[in-house]
Amino acid sequence: MSKALNILVVGSGAREHALATKISESPRCANLHVTPGNAGTPGTRHNVVATDINGIIALCNTNRVSLVVIGPEDPLAAGLVDALHTAGIAAFGPTQALARLESDKSYAREVAQLLNLPGPHCATFKQGDETSALAWYEQFGADIVVKQSGLAGGKGVVVPNSANETTTAIREAIALGDVVLEERLFGTECSLIALSDGSTSVAFPLAQDHKRIGEGDTGLNTGGMGAYAPAPVVFSADELHAMFITPVINHFASAGTPFIGALFAGIMLTKDGPRLLEYNCRFGDPEAQVLLSLLDSDIVELLLACTNGSLTSNHLVIRDGSALAVVLAAHNYPHPPRTGDIITNLPTTNPMSSVFHGGTEVVNGQLVTAGGRVLTCVGVGQTLDEARTHAYATASRISFDGVQLRRDIAWRAPGATITSYASTGVNIDEGTRAVDLIKASVAKTATSHVLRGVGAFGGALDVSFLKEFDHPVLVGSTDGVGTKVELAARTGRIRGTGHDIVNHCVNDVLVQRAYPLFFLDYLASSHLNADNVAEVVGGMADACAAAGCVLLGGETAEMPGVYVDGAFDIAGTLVGVAEREQLLPLPTIAAGDVLIGVASNGPHTNGYSYLRKLFAWIPMESQPVPLDRPLVEALLEPHRNYLPVLKDALNTEHVKALVHITGGGLPENMPRVLPEGIGAIINLGSWPMPPLFQLVSELSTLDTDELYRTLNMGVGMVVIVAPEHVTAVQHSINEETWIIGELTRDHNKVQLK
Element (H, E) at 133: helix 130-140
Q: What percent of the chain has pLDDT over 70?
A: 94
Asked if residues 329 and 366 have their Cβ atoms less than 8 Å apart, the reply is: no
DSSP 3-state assignment of 266?
A: strand
Asked if residues 545 and 501 have their Cβ atoms less than 8 Å apart, the reply is: no
pLDDT tens column, 189-203: 999 999 999 999 999
Q: What is the 3-state secondary structure (H, E, C) of 542-592?
A: HHHHHHCCEEEEEEEEECECCECCCCEEEEEEEEEEEEHHHCCCCCCCCCC
Which residues are registered as beta bridge partners of 229? 323
Nearest by Cα to 642 from 499, 510, 740, 732: 510
Write the CA distances from 310 to 70, 89, 202, 491, 504, integer angstroms.
20, 17, 12, 57, 67
* Pairing between β-strand 29-36 and β-strand 44-45 as defined by DSSP bridges: parallel
Residue 421 DSSP one-character state: G
DSSP 3-state assignment of 264?
A: strand
Considering the chain, what is the average pLDDT of its residues? Answer: 91
Instruction: Place 534 in a pLDDT band, splitting at 50, 70 and 90.
Output: confident
Nearest by Cα to 222 from 212, 233, 207: 212
pLDDT tens column, 313-369: 999 999 999 999 999 999 999 999 999 999 999 999 899 999 999 999 999 999 999
Nearest by Cα to 393 from 433, 347, 425, 351: 347
* Pairing between β-strand 29-36 and β-strand 655-660 as defined by DSSP bridges: unpaired
Q: List, as one string, the DSSP characters of 183-251.
A: EPP-SEEEEEEEEEESS-EEEPPPBEE--EEETTTEEEE-S-SEEEES---SS-HHHHHHHHTHHHHHH
Instruction: Place 22 in a pLDDT band, splitting at 50, 70 and 90.
Output: very high
* pLDDT score recorded for residue 316: 97
Quote the CA–CA distance of 714 and 370 in Å, as a whole number.
49
Give the residue-averaged pLDDT of 705-731.
Answer: 97
* Pairing between β-strand 226-229 and β-strand 322-329 as defined by DSSP bridges: antiparallel
Nearest by Cα to 205 from 250, 236, 251: 236
* pLDDT score recorded for residue 565: 82
Q: What are phi and psi of 489, to 5 degrees?
A: -65, -40
Q: What are phi and psi of 469, to 5 degrees?
A: -105, 150
Give the residue-averaged pLDDT of 634-638.
Answer: 97
Instruction: Place 428 in a pLDDT band, splitting at 50, 70 and 90.
Output: low
Model-level pTM? 0.88
pLDDT tens column, 685-705: 999 999 999 999 999 999 999
For residue 419, count other CB atoms closer than 10 A to its CB: 11
Q: What are phi and psi of 509, to 5 degrees?
A: -90, -25
- Listed range (28-32, 493-497, 536-540) with the worst mean pLDDT: 536-540
Quote the CA–CA distance of 404 and 391 in Å, as a whole number.
15
Element (H, E) at 361: strand 360-363
Write the CA distances from 36 to 10, 91, 93, integer angstroms.
7, 17, 18
* Pairing between β-strand 322-329 and β-strand 373-381 as defined by DSSP bridges: antiparallel
pLDDT tens column, 48-74: 999 999 999 999 999 999 999 999 999
459-462: strand order across its sheet: 450-452, 459-462, 472-480, 568-579, 515-525, 550-558
Confidence check: pLDDT of 451 > 60? no
Please indicate whether residue 368 or residue 748 has the higher confidence score (pLDDT).
368
* pLDDT score recorded for residue 681: 96
**43 Ramachandran zone, left/alpha/beta (phi>0; psi -120 to 50):** left
Confidence check: pLDDT of 450 > 60? no
Instruction: Place 558 in a pLDDT band, splitting at 50, 70 and 90.
Output: confident
Confidence check: pLDDT of 441 > 50? no
Instruction: Place 429 in a pLDDT band, splitting at 50, 70 and 90.
Output: low
DSSP 3-state assignment of 720?
A: strand
Asked if residues 21 and 299 have their Cβ atoms less than 8 Å apart, the reply is: no
Residue 100 DSSP one-character state: H
pLDDT tens column, 369-397: 999 999 999 999 999 999 999 999 999 99
Confidence check: pLDDT of 466 > 50? yes
How far is Cα of residue 333 from the mean position of the Cα atoms in its chain? 23
Asked if residues 36 and 246 have their Cβ atoms less than 8 Å apart, the reply is: no
Give the residue-averaged pLDDT of 589-612.
Answer: 96
- 328 Cβ partners below 8 Å, 6+ apart? 373, 374, 375, 376, 377, 395, 398, 400, 403, 404, 405
* pLDDT score recorded for residue 362: 97
Quote the CA–CA distance of 295 and 380 in Å, as a whole number.
11
pLDDT tens column, 108-142: 999 999 999 999 888 888 898 888 889 888 888 88
Q: What's the one-letter identity of residue 387?
A: A
Q: What percent of the chain has pLDDT over 90?
A: 74
Quote the CA–CA distance of 608 and 612 in Å, as a whole number.
6
DSSP 3-state assignment of 68?
A: strand
How far is Cα of residue 88 from the mean position of the Cα atoms in its chain? 48
Asked if residues 444 and 537 have their Cβ atoms less than 8 Å apart, the reply is: no
Write the CA distances from 738 to 218, 573, 682, 718, integer angstroms.
32, 31, 11, 10
Walk me through the domains of the chain, giving residue ranges and CATH numbers: 5-92 (3.40.50.20), 188-319 (3.30.470.20), 322-410 (3.90.600.10), 447-583 (3.30.1330.10), 586-753 (3.90.650.10)
Asked if residues 268 and 159 have their Cβ atoms less than 8 Å apart, the reply is: no
pLDDT tens column, 661-678: 999 999 999 999 999 999
